[in-house]
Amino acid sequence: MNWGARRPEKVDPVILERIRPVEVPVLTEVKRRLGREDVAGALRYAYPKVVEDLARAYQVTIPPGFSHEEIVARGFTEPMRPLLDFFEKLYRLYSPVRYGERPAPGAPQEVLELLQSLYGAEPMWRLYVTEAVRPPPRAESSPTAAAASPRSTEG
């Protein structure tokens, strides 16, 4: 231990941005459907929303008629690659439901976990973040505003 060394001064953190934490609406709706044990409905809702959000978040064009294979082959860019495994697994759960079969047992928890992983990527969750900005004080409640407001004078 070096007794002569000074401890570094504590520095207050600098807040670069303020964001209001909110749950991604897609996750909220999927949880609602899973809570009603509607796994098929949750998957039918979630997969197209994920495709739409991937396009918005990563600023790519994914035409409406693209198959899953075309989305992966022509729509996925390098920044999206870390999400590919999650997206593929989601499709494997979605496709039997999409084409009329029942989802595999144990799918509800897996569906939610896959969506949380997909929306855990910053570009995806940022789609649903709003800045936490304090509203300006109301003019009538501000003491300086009251003092500065024009007053009628009788004369």
pLDDT digits (tens, 9 = 90+) for 70-117: 999 999 999 999 999 999 999 999 999 888 877 666 678 999 999 999
Cβ atoms within 10 Å, residue 50: 23
User: pLDDT category, 9, cuts 50, 70, 90?
Assistant: confident
pTM, entire model = 0.70
Residue 10 pLDDT = 75
pLDDT digits (tens, 9 = 90+) for 110-152: 999 999 999 999 999 999 986 544 555 565 544 544 444 444 4
Number of H helices, E strands in the chain: 7, 2
pLDDT digits (tens, 9 = 90+) for 23-32: 899 999 999 9
Residue 119 pLDDT = 96
With b for 16 or more beta-carbon neighbours within 10 A and e for fewer, the 82-106 pattern comes to ebeebbebbbebbeebeeeeebeee
